[in-house]
Structures are given as structure tokens and as C-alpha cells.
Structure 1
Amino acid sequence: MATLRTKREAVVLVKEMTPENLEATVRRSSRNGFAPKRLQYSPEHETPKKKRKTKAVAENGSQNKQPKDEEDAENSDVEHAPEGYGRLSAYELERLENIRQNQAFLSSINLFQATEEFKQLTRPKPSQRGLTRAHAAVKEVVPPRKSLRLQKKEAEILELPPEPRGTLIYEQSSPAKKPSGPLPMDPVNVEEGSKLPPQLLELCSEDVKVDKKIQLDLKGYRSSLKNMTVNEDKVAKVVKDRIFSATFHPCTSSLLLAAGDKWGKVGLWKLGGDWGEDGVLLFEPHTRPVGCMAFSKFHPTQLLSLSYDGSLRCMDVEKAVFDDVYDIEDGLKTFDFMSHDCSTLVVGNWYGEVAIVDRRTPGNSHESLHTLDPKTLRCVNVHPLQKQYFVVAESKIYDTSTLTTKSPLLTTIRHDMQTGRWLTKLSAAWDPKLEDCFVVGSMMKPRRVQVFHESGQLQHSFMDSENLSTVLSVTAFHPTRNALLGGNASGRLHVFSD
């Protein structure tokens, strides 16, 4: 029985060890792994386990059964834990104690609170440049309502008002459409009676010199895209509400941008400008969302803007008016220039139709109307060089050398277009500097803007953790400079440039 006595003494020694040298001396049983389920029950609910029968070989070679308590002590490496912990091994007990001490130490130095405060400080804040937010009116403080029943007072007897007579006039949910004819170009974010800054006309009248284009391969093109970045000075609130359209002016000495919002407002922004609010001027030529806008390359002082209210107008900085170009009852969605002199337009509506509009023709109606698709056209964008092509943001790239009811499909690109109710639909636009690449916003996180080749290959993703935290639904490239804009749902424009 010397062997049994030795084993019994070893078990006693283990139970008398302190936690400091416990890990080095405790023998771990291969049968008792550190299963997480041991932490899920307590001693009072423990299910009794069947004891395994073992045999010990005595010194004389005979097989004798060990006593029950010796067998349990030999085959077990667990101890009775404090109440609420169940039966845990010594290693698990030591681990739990270390966790408790570490948490107590971190709480004592307020690390958890400091971590939460750090998250609040590092969270990106929207840019405060551009239009200032209108101050909310001070609400009148009224006394709290008290129940007449609790005050043991009788309820007041109220009489219904008399029924109205005559025809009821309901207030419209949106303002009425602007009257036809030219509208004065008066900014609404400056003092009443203020004239347009003369620097705006000088900038718009700048002689745009188009340098000879350098033919880049896709590798060189991707390299130029990587050099374009955004910072705090390149983000500003240009319109008051959600941006539906935006574009660059073709001038090269400065970056001049335009944006249209949900309620028919048009904003102009010069980066680093000293007029208006941080270089922002705001106008009201429409009453419904401005779905599309573009500067005329042939007449750089003109900005054409289209609205859901059915009006297509031309902002002429030289004349300081908004002229009529095309007008229907409602439902205009998008447009683009179909000729190099910008005299002919292709205009899309909500019903899957496109109209051909010639600005040289007197009046404000179309020349012809064609049906391409019964679905709603989100946007149309004509190819910068080959004017018979245009891209539609319903995944279809069409060859429109001959306008027919069915146009051949060239490429389909899988892209998430589900923006939901509160975001502007994503719109795609060609890069004028490279004839086979276009840009489109993205719903992916972290937020980004993506550039694709017409074959469907992704060329670059524009991202910035500090200055880009929202979906940029509206995107456009500068016609000659390495610059890209993106507009979000709060009326802010982001500019990526080299």
C-alpha cells in the first residue's frame, strides 16, 4: 500500500498549495478539459456523475480495488470553488481571480470612462463651412398640464365649432411652381438688394484653355486618382437641404462648383472664395428637387438646371437671370448635352422617356420624344467624345447612334443602388479626361466613391475616415483638372483634388 499512501499525500499537498505556485504543481487530468460549460451551473444544481471503476496493481502483482475516496482524489484535479462558481479547476479559479483584479484596476483609473470620452472626441464632425444653419426659434415655456380628475374638478364642457360653409382650400405640401419667363438672379443668403460679386462674372468668363490631353493607360490613370485627397477646407454646406445634383465649372484657375437641393435651390461655391458665406451664394429658381445641372462648355457663363417641377432653366451670369429652356407640367428627371456647342439636349423624365430639345428653336418645347425603358431613368450621361453613347444609372449602357425603342446592352455592373427613402439615388458620370471610365457613389462601409472601367473593373475607391463619413450620392469629375466632387444628404459638397 506504499503506492496508495504516496498518492494520498500528493493529493493533500496539492490542496494545501497557495494560488501562487498552484499552476506549477497541479497535475491536470486529460479527461477534464477546460470546457466553458462548467461555468454555467452551481453546486446546488449539479447532476451527480457516475464514478469510473479503476484497478490498482499492488506490489505483489495482485489486483485490489482502491477505496472510493482515494479513487476520487487520484482522478480529479478540481477543487470546490466559492459559492456561485460551481466545481472549477485550480487554473480556472486563478484565471477568474486575475480577471477580477484586472477589472478592478481598470475601473480604479477610470479607463472605461476615458475610452468612451475618446470615442466621442475622435468621432468626425460635419464641416461648418458654407451656409450657416438657421437658429431655431425660442419655444415658449408653458406650464405643465394637470389632470382635472386628479384635482377633483369637473371636466369642462366643450362645444364643437360650426360646420364650415363653402369650398375648402387645402394648403399644398410644396410651394407653387415659379412663373414662366426669366427670373432675377438674386442671392437669398446675402443682404437684400446686394448685387452679384464682379469676381463671379470674371471667373465664369475665363477663357478656358484645354491643354492637349495626355493619353494615360489604366495604370497611370489609377496613379493619378490615388493622388486626389480631401481635407476640411474642401468640404462645405452649399445648399440647405439634400443634394440632388452637382457639377464643376470648366474654369481652371479656381474650383467653382454648383449644387441643387430638394426644394429647388441652387448654390454656387468657390473654394477659398470671400463672397457670400465662405464663397457660397444661394438662389431659388425652382420649387422641387433640382435633379440635374451642368455648365455650358460653349458659353461658360451659363448654368442649366432641371427640376422635378417640370422646368429646365438657364442661369446666365452675364445677364443675371434664370431663362426658360424647356417646360412641361411636371416629371422632368435628368438631362445632358448632345452636341459640342451645347445647343441640343437629351432630357429624361420619370416615365422612361427622353426628349430631344434644341435651344435654337423658339419656345420651350421638345423636338421629338422617344421611349427607352418603362422604368424610371435615374440619370442619363452622354459620352464625352462619342455623343451617340450615354450611360443610365439603371445598370444599362446604351448605344444610341440610332434612337429606337430597344438599344443594345453593352455591359452590366453589379452595384448596390438601394439608397432607401432619405438618400438621393446614386448617379453615374463619365470622366471627361478618360473616355472609358466613370464614377459612382457607394453604399459600402467605410463610406467611399468608386471609379469603374466600362468593362466593369474597379479602378479606385476614394475614402477618408476623418472627412468622409456619409454617402455621396451625387458625383462628378472636373472636365480638365484632377478633381472630383461628391454631394450628400445634408447639402454638403466634398472635393477630392491633387
Structure 2
Amino acid sequence: MHTWQELTPEDVEETVRRSSRTVLAPKRLKYSPENSPAQTSREEKGGHGELSEYELERLENIRHNQAFLSSINLFQVIRQSHCSLFSQETTVKEALPARKSLRLQNKEAEVLTLPPEPRGMLVYEESMRISEEKVAKVVKDRIFSAAFHPCSSSLLMATGDKWGKVGLWKLGGEWGSDGVLLFEPHTRPVVCMAFSAAHPTHLLSLSYDGSLRCMDVEKACFDDVYDIGDGLKTFDFMSHDCSTLVVGSWFGEVAIVDRRTPGNSHESLHSLDPKALRCVSVHPLQKQYFAVAENKVVSIYDSRCLKKTNSPSVSQLNGHSLSISSAYFSPCTGNRVLTSCMDNNIRIYDTSAMTTKSPLLSSIRHNMHTGRWLTKLSAVWDPKQEDCFVVGSMERPRRVQVFHESGQPQHSFIDDENLNTVLSVVAFHPTRNALLGGNASGRLHVFSDLQRDQNVYE
């Protein structure tokens, strides 16, 4: 039986410390490893003798929380990652000879033959398997969002559920029975989350309750990044340092938020489609472009040309007959956009030229109707490559499917013993051979490389 350590405060208002951008003084979480003023004053009065049984149990949870977060060793991973990146960027380039014109030397130009484009498709390793140890109940209710931490030395995952809870799970973690911690920074579904690439200890989570918050995983505290009171739906990073974000709401508005600016409001607010707005995705290279799923069309905007209302789009992706669940730029070049639509089609568009009407490359028939009790399916790219994506499935036996952008099926992850539920929320690890899937009961399932996992469990 998988269990988790719940660290849920009595009052949600008191669990979040306000960002330094607000006029309010920062407030530390009750379950932060650091002592709170109230706790300190009680200790000065003579230890814990005056605390109730409930408060003593909470203090014990804090100590367990601190021990678990310390065991993750994220700081060491970050230092190693930064050193690796720095060494790559500072490599001295080989001096090249000066270019000379062949025409001035009376020589014919050399005819260069380009290598043929690779036509083979990646075959996903059959060594990616699931087992009983790779299934855990991480949150209490239906999963709406999930993400892998980018570290490759261990598998650390985060997920958000229907009632505002955020769970952390380290595969093979020794803390507790399965390495799970539970927090409650929100009050409604946590529908979008992502780890910061620039600050890997930061986990950003967004909820229907109108709040966007940043958790410091090492310190177990939350900052209030953006708050409108109700209706937030989606966000993405608009800068490589992850300090600027585009945030979308149910009301058809996008906000540009700069975390470096004091306060927890936006820099600018723009009304787009008042009917619906379900997903935003920023171009991986040209960060000024972002795609927006607006009801039955996906529009690509240039953030430099946004107006308060009636902003002109750079390109549109047409052909959807029902509402669009998601739209994502391809992870390496942004030359493709992947859309999931309730008309039971997954579509791939060519956005390499940013024409007024981006051409449709392929359309894959896929049952997207999950019913009211399951989170909607959304196809997402494999971040390690440009042309493959993964999506949950309603088929039996239960599975997760991988497709090539051409529409050809690549692989189906199936396991009769450990996978018997629909995994609506799916994601590939950014560097490792690992795939997660979240279901309606709060469980995460992980398919990962057996050889790498042996190092975790030994």
C-alpha cells in the first residue's frame, strides 16, 4: 500500500508567502524547515511541553520534510549541470583559415551534395518498463498536471490534483514508504506546472483559483507570483532565464508577467478570444512568438505587437471543427505545432515559415472523449527530439501511445499487471528514457530504463 506524508495547513491563506514583489511582508510556510516565530517563542518558553498533540505531529512532519528534501541533493545536481553548460559554452573554437573567393582565383565552385534527410523513425527502447515500485499515489484526487524535474541522476516528479494539492515523488526515495510529499498551495485544480530551466529548484504551479505560485523545492516554501482571483488556465516561460511569463485565463485574456517587477500583478493584459482560451505555448527559439488555443483556431502572436484588444495574429492554424484542448510548439526548432482537438483528431502544422495560414502536415484520428470524470487527453512532444509525441489512450488494454509527426505509430506502452487505468496526463523526461502518466485517482505511473533504475534501488 502506497502512502504519502501530507503537509497540509489549516488555512490556505497562511500557507503561501507573498512574493517580494508585493507590498506585504514575505511569509514562510508553516511546514517550512525554518522555524517560524511562533515556534521559536514556544521553544524559548521551555521546549514543546505546551504544544498540543496535533502541533507536535506537525513538527515531526516538518523534520521528515526537511530530511527528504535534503536527500534530493538538487543543489549538487544544479552545480554539475551549470559546470557542464559552462564548459561547453567556453570551449575555445578552432581558428579557421580566411575565406577566399573562388571566382577571384578563376576556379569553379565546388558542387556540394547534401546528405539525404533521415527517414527512419526512432524506435523507443523496449527496456522502458513499469513495475509495482513505479506506481505511487502522489496526490489525493484526479491529476490535472504533472512534470519531470530536469535532473538525470534520479527521477523526481511533481503533480497537481483537482483540489489544489501539489505532490512531489522521488522514485526509489527512502523517505517514508515511497518518497512522496504532499502540499496544498491552491484551492482548485492545479492545471499547469513546470520546473524552471534557469532555477531547477523552482516549481511553478497554476490553478483555476486564479493563483500562479512558485515553490522552492529545497526550502518547501511558496511565493505568490501572479494572482487575479479566479480563472487562470495556462502559462509558459517567455525568456530563457524564465523570469518572464505569458499567462492565459478562461476569459480569453493573456497577461505578460515579469517576476523581477515588484508586486504580483502583470506588466500588461490583452484580450484575445472572449469565448475560450485553453493553452499557450512559447516558441523555443524566438521567444517573442507564442501560440494560443482559442476555441476552434490556434493563433500565433508576436508579443511585441500586442494591443489591449484586437491584437493581430502572425499566423493561424485552421481546420478544427470543435474546441481545441492544447497546442504546443515543437521543442527543438518550433517548426511544428501539435494540437489536440475534441473532434477526435491530433494535428501537426508547419510553422517554419510563419505564414498567415500555417499548412497542415498530418492529422491522426484519436479518441479524445474521456467523459466528465477524467482529465482531457492532450498530446505532448517528446522534448528530446523534434518529431515524436506521446498521448494517453481510451483503448483497452490501457496504454500510452507514441506517434511520429507523419502519423505513424511508434510504440505503445502496455503492462497488464501495472497499468489498468487511463493515463490522461503524460510527459517524457527531458533527457532520460522515462515516461510518466497520471490518472483520475491521483496515481503516477512511470515507464523508465531498467538499467538506470537498478542504480536507484540497489
- Mapped pair 1:430 → 2:430: no
For residues 467 and 395 of structure 1, the distance between their equivalents in structure 2, rounded to whole angstroms, comes to 37
Cα separation, 2, equivalents of 1:237 and 1:381? 29
> Partners in 2 of 1:265 and 1:385 — Cα distance?
33
Pair 245,202 (structure 1): closer, same or farther in 2 beyond 3 Å? same
For residue 311 of structure 1, the aligned residue among 211, 225, 247 is 211
The residue aligned with 1:408 is: 316
Query: Separation in 2 of the partners of 1:372 and 1:225?
Result: 43
* SS of aligned partner of 2:316: coil
1:203 maps to a residue whose letter is: L
Aligned equivalents of 2:380, 2:212: Cα separation in 1 = 20
Equivalence for 1:345: 245
| 2:446 matches 1:486 | no
Q: CA deviation at 1:481?
A: 0.9
Cα distance in 1 for partners of 2:387, 2:428 equals 13
TM-score by length of 2: 0.63
Displacement of 1:432 in angstroms is 1.5
The residue number in structure 2 matching 1:40 is: none
- Alpha-carbon distance, 1:425 to partner: 1.7
Give yes or no for contact 2:297–2:316 (8 Å, CA) kept in 1: no
Q: What residue is the counterpart of 1:463 in the other structure?
A: 414
The residue aligned with 2:202 is: 302
Q: CA contact under 8 A between 1:379 and 1:428: conserved in structure 2? A: no
Deviation at 1:451, TM superposition (A): 2.7
Match of 1:219 in 2: 120
Give how far 1:345 is off: 1.2
Comparing 181-190 with 255-264, which one deviates more in the overlay?
181-190
Query: Can you list the C-alpha shifts for 1:192-223, whole angstroms capped at 9, x where unaligned?
Result: 442422534523551335799xxx956352x1
CA contact (8 A) 2:392 2:422 kept: yes
Give the root-mean-square deviation of aligned CA atoms: 3.2
Q: Of residues 31, 41, 46 in structure 2, which corresponds to 1:186?
A: 31
Asked if 2 retains the 8 angstrom alpha-carbon contact of 1:267 and 1:281, the reply is yes
How far, CA to CA, are the matches of 1:398 and 1:496 in structure 2?
34
Asked if the contact 1:237/1:492 (under 8 Å) is kept, the reply is yes
Is contact 1:177-1:287 (8 Å) kept? Answer: no
Match of 1:263 among 163, 173, 182: 163
Compare 341-350 and 177-186 and name the one that shifted more: 177-186
> Aligned residue for 1:74?
none
Q: CA deviation at 1:366?
A: 1.6
Q: Deviations over 1:283-335 (max 9, x none)?
A: 11111111111111110111111111111110013443100100001001111
TM-score (norm 1): 0.59
Sequence identity (%)? 67
Report if aligned partners of 2:273, 2:294 keep a CA contact under 8 Å in 1.
no
Deviations 1:61-119 (A, max 9, x none): xxxxxxxxxxxxxxxxxxxxxxxxxxxxxxxxxxxxxxxxxxxxxxxxxxxxxxxxxxx
Q: Distance in 1 between matches of 2:269 and 2:174?
A: 44
Aligned-partner Cα distance in 1 for 2:252–2:415: 36
Give distance in 1, aligned partners of 2:145 and 2:298.
20
Q: CA deviation at 1:495?
A: 0.9
384-393 or 304-313, which deviates more: 384-393
Structure 1 residues 262 and 339: alpha-carbon distance in aligned structure 2, compared to 1, 3 A threshold: same
Q: Report the equivalent of 1:129.
A: 2
Rounded to whole Å, the distance in 1 between the matches of 2:436 and 2:4 is 18
Q: Aligned pair in 2 of structure 1 residues 456, 364: CA closer, same or farther (>3 Å)?
A: farther
Structure 1, residues 160-216: CA drift from partner, whole Å, max 9, x if none? xxxxxxxxxxxxxxx87666624517289994442422534523551335799xxx9
Partner of residue 392 from structure 2, selected from 441, 452, 459: 441
Q: Residues of 2 paired with 1:430 and 1:483: CA distance?
A: 13
1:408 aligns to what SS in structure 2?
strand
Number of the residue aligned with 2:452: none
Instruction: Quote the Cα distance in structure 1 between the aligned partners of 2:292 and 2:426.
Output: 14
Corresponding residue to 1:421 among 372, 379, 382: 372
Quick check: 1:259–1:267 contact (8 Å CA) kept in 2? yes
SS at match of 2:124: helix
2:222 maps to 322
Q: Which has the higher strand share?
A: 2
C-alpha distance in 1 between matches for 2:426 and 2:294: 12
Structure 1 residues 351 and 279, CA gap change in structure 2 (3 angstroms): same
Amino acid corresponding to residue 497 of structure 1 in structure 2:
S
Give the distance between the partners of 2:175 and 2:165, measured in 1 at CA: 18
What runs of 5+ residues in structure 2 fail to find an aligned partner?
A: 19-26, 33-56, 89-116, 318-348, 350-359, 450-458
Q: Give the Cα–Cα distance (whole angstroms) in 2 for the partners of residues 189 and 277 of structure 1.
A: 18
Question: Are the counterparts in 2 of residues 392 and 428 from structure 1 also a CA contact under 8 Å?
Answer: no
Residue 73 of structure 2: aligned partner: 202
Tell me, in whole angstroms, the C-alpha distance in 1 between the residues paired with 2:399 and 2:59: 34
Aligned to 1:460, the other structure's residue is in SS state strand
| Paired letter, 2:66 | L
Q: Distance in 1 between matches of 2:406 and 2:296?
A: 13
Between the aligned partners of 2:119 and 2:75, the Cα distance in structure 1 is 32
Alpha-carbon distance in structure 2 between the residues aligned to 1:424 and 1:400: 28
Amino acid at match of 1:469: N
State the 1:418 CA deviation: 1.8
Moved more, 385-394 or 437-446: 385-394
Q: In structure 2, how many angstroms separate the alpha carbons of the residues matched to 1:375 and 1:230?
A: 41
Q: Which amino acid aligns with 1:256?
A: L
* 2:401 aligned partner: 450
